Structure 1
Amino acid sequence: MTLTNRDLVELTAWRRKLHQRPEISNEEAETAREVVAFLRDTNPDRVLTGMGGHGVAMVYDSGRPGPTLLFRSELDALPIHELSGVPHASLVPGKSHMCGHDGHTTILAALGRLFGRARPARGRVVLMFQPAEESGDGAAGVVGDPRFSEIAPEFAFSLHNLPGVPLGEVRLKAGTVNCASRGMRIRLGGKTAHSSMPETGISPMQAVSRLMPELPRLGQFTFADDGFRMVTVTHASMGEAVFGVAPGHAEIWACLRTRLDDNMSDLRAAAEALVTRIAGDHGLMHEITYHEIFVASVNAPEAVEPLRLALDQEGVRHSEEDLPMRASEDFGLFGRGAKSAMFFLGAGEAHPSLHNPDYDFPDDLIPIGARVFARVAANLLGDERANGHTVRGES
């Protein structure tokens, strides 16, 4: 099971096509159709569309008893205007693949080509092209889809490219690798007034000026232990953009972040109590809503072990450096019902950072990611006589 030079040329061209036509979270309809069309000639045994929105699941079934392995990638892009200057740059103003999901999707498409040529020896492989990772509701939508029970895996694997790590090297460890986070939207309501008579209104100005520094103080910035928690104010607005009106309403957006899911409820309670107290001090109504909710991504040791074995067999250098990360990832939800693990594939030490407008996925990572995933599948779903340590047909 190897990719040919022609495969790599075609996969690279397809990745760049996806890059030129980005669709942001919950808008990935055309990207999903592209995936189905590109892999049609691999003759998957089952194709499920519209999962969790625009998600696509492709099933390659051996027809023999065995575990189900799920490999997941993301379909969505970001609302960022691209400034990379590459020939295949985004053709959609204000939208671009600045996180490399086009590359991750191409790695799964490479797997689809391989399993189209040779099904696993036993069990089945599910390629899950997931929507809406950036908004935090894609994995929840997929797992909550009634059809997911029909393809529920024993093992789930994923990868993410990681600038700052040497090209092609891997970061992998058991335990927490990505933090839990959620967006907290605070609305404050008072009473507007003419700017010449502000005393006749109820302004949120003082409450906003207190909340903006006090919310971050709820954090504990020592990332080395499981008690880590962090609050980042990301947006604030107040009143109307006019000179003649004293404000009567305001909004503050903050991101709550913890290393463990269990600590999020305590941080949330502390933030809500702070908002309630300060709003009350200034005679304001308040409303709190939560958005972009991510659980912690926790790698199961039982899933990390076959990944480490595959990396060693493929000669890919790996370490536990740089993990866990503060950033969040909705892949963690797949670990609620399966033994799951994600690894991080180096995009180059000097490569532009994720979510930067000059980022572009390194195409050299396509065969590396595909080789590692294919080796994991061969080890776990190969001939049982191989005892899980030999790829079927190879030594």
Structure 2
Amino acid sequence: MPVVNRIAEFSAEMARWRQHLHTIPELGQECHETAAFVAARLREFGVDEIHEGFAKTGIVAIVNGQGAGPTVGLRADMDALPIPEATGVAYASQRPGKMHACGHDGHTTMLLGAAKYLAETRKFSGRVALIFQPAEETGGGAEVMVEEGVLDRFGVGQVYALHNAPGVEAGAFYTTPGPIMAAVDTFHIHITGKGGHGAMPHETRDPVMAAVGIAQALQTIVSRNHYALDDLVLSVTQIHAGTADNVIPDKAYINGTVRTFDPKVQAMVQERMVAIVEGQAASFGVQAKLNYVVGYPATVNDPDKSAFAAEVAREVAGESRVVADAGREMGAEDFAYMLNARPGAYLFLGQGDSAGLHHPEYNFNDEVAPVGASFFARLVERAQPLAAR
């Protein structure tokens, strides 16, 4: 895979960074040890400024180029997931019940690689803001950093991020103009009935049957209440009730996720869920409370910036290994908040055959880290070239 020569020279060092980060997974905003490692490497590289404490453990590092110019932002997420690791690698998680099952250790490594190169060479004008963000998986760290004024404080004019993609050719890129990932909402439904003996259901108001009825009725929102060509996913992912085979419980719980792109579709789903939950509860003689939580918005690429990023990716990976109009998907990403605030693009970088994201056997492919670092580095050099002398 073609990479910047200087980055190729320290690719083994990048693998060591990544594998160390893999041993110390941290959740949410509590990325203290990860952030300390990142800050130590940045100081070694000689970046011009290091600002810590955004979203609790986030870092922004500044590298100045040669001469005046704008600021381009590059973002990497740092947090892990609450999943017990099953990779069997020598550098497996040392934190029981936590692991880097989404490759954020690799994302952080790629941005560190770009930082090392950019601090050494400075073949660009203006400056680059390297954004190391906690709490992508939960907590919306990107939203917090935007609210804390990161983009405004450092004058970031455009912003970019990468995510690894298992099952896609290692070192290949794909992206798309406009919406690339969906908005994500969560719903919780608490049902209260009247419990009793399983042999005497006529004396109860059964919350289990109400939960089944609500779960089935919710699926009609997708099949009967929205235009079939508008992307919408509504998944019931949890139903909890009962403790014994001969006891009808008095409570049940339903949980799930909603994925949309159009705010009008999102609003329709909320309206229909309220009606369905209330109506089904009345029909079964129980009480039901819906808590609908609006989450990350859709991730929307600026068309011009995504086209530019695809050009840079072709330079790094080759014409045939970049898809610039791959279409959108129903996953979600809190980088959406940064793209709502600034034009930019989100791209995927193939990691080859591996377990899928959020799987206990997933492990980032160290061979693609120099490719991602090269993409970040060349993007800065292309976006903010040195003035002709």
Name 1:174's counterpart in structure 2: 177
Name 2:84's counterpart in structure 1: 81
Overall identity of the aligned pairs, in %:
31
Range with bigger deviation, 282-291 or 5-14: 282-291
Q: CA deviation at 1:238?
A: 1.6
* Deviation sequence 1:188-234 (CA, Å, 0-9, x none): 2234446676555533122101012222332259x998611111111
Name 2:351's counterpart in structure 1: 347
Give unmatched runs, 5+ long, in structure 2.
none
Q: How many residues align?
A: 383
Range with bigger deviation, 150-159 or 315-324: 315-324
Name 1:271's counterpart in structure 2: 273
Which of 45, 49, 53 does residue 48 from structure 2 map onto? 45
Contact 1:136 1:293 in 2 (8 A): no
Cα distance change on mapping 1:329 and 1:147 into 2, 3 Å: closer
Contact 1:3 1:367 in 2 (8 A): no
Query: How far apart, CA to CA, are the structure 2 residues paired with 1:3 and 1:291?
Result: 46
Contact 1:137 1:292 in 2 (8 A): no
Are 2:300 and 1:282 aligned? no
The residue identity in structure 1 corresponding to 2:350 is G
Range with bigger deviation, 127-136 or 158-167: 127-136
Query: How far apart, CA to CA, are the structure 2 residues paired with 1:115 and 1:22?
Result: 27
Q: CA deviation at 1:167?
A: 1.1
Which of 322, 325, 332 does residue 328 from structure 1 map onto? 332
Q: Which has the higher contact order (CA 8 A, sep 6+)?
A: 2
Contact 1:298 1:335 in 2 (8 A): yes
Contact 2:188 2:253 in 1 (8 A): yes
* Deviation sequence 1:147-200 (CA, Å, 0-9, x none): 542025211101111112111111122111111111111112234446676555
Contact 2:48 2:62 in 1 (8 A): yes
Name 1:389's counterpart in structure 2: none
Q: CA deviation at 1:377?
A: 0.4
Contact 2:124 2:385 in 1 (8 A): yes
Name 2:18's counterpart in structure 1: 15
Cα distance change on mapping 1:225 and 1:35 into 2, 3 Å: farther
Name 2:188's counterpart in structure 1: 185
Cα distance change on mapping 1:5 and 1:322 into 2, 3 Å: closer
Contact 1:261 1:295 in 2 (8 A): no
Which of 205, 208, 211 does residue 208 from structure 1 map onto? 211
> Equivalences for 1:80-119 in 2 at 5 Å?
80-119=83-122
The residue identity in structure 2 corresponding to 1:57 is V
Q: TM-score, normalised by structure 1?
A: 0.89
Query: How far apart, CA to CA, are the structure 1 residues paired with 2:138 and 2:93?
Result: 20
The residue identity in structure 1 corresponding to 2:368 is L
Name 2:377's counterpart in structure 1: 374
The residue identity in structure 2 corresponding to 1:207 is A
Give unmatched runs, 5+ long, in structure 1.
387-395
The RMSD of aligned alpha carbons is 2.5
Which of 153, 157, 161 does residue 154 from structure 1 map onto? 157
The residue identity in structure 1 corresponding to 2:72 is L
Contact 2:7 2:117 in 1 (8 A): no
Contact 1:176 1:297 in 2 (8 A): yes
Q: TM-score, normalised by structure 2?
A: 0.90
Range with bigger deviation, 56-65 or 178-187: 56-65
Query: How far apart, CA to CA, are the structure 1 residues paired with 2:292 and 2:64?
Result: 40
> Equivalences for 1:220-231 in 2 at 5 Å?
227-231=230-234
* Deviation sequence 1:326-385 (CA, Å, 0-9, x none): 21111111111211211111111x322111221110011111111111111001112244
Cα distance change on mapping 1:313 and 1:107 into 2, 3 Å: same
SS of aligned partner of 2:59: strand
Contact 1:216 1:230 in 2 (8 A): no
Name 1:360's counterpart in structure 2: 363
Q: CA deviation at 1:48?
A: 2.3
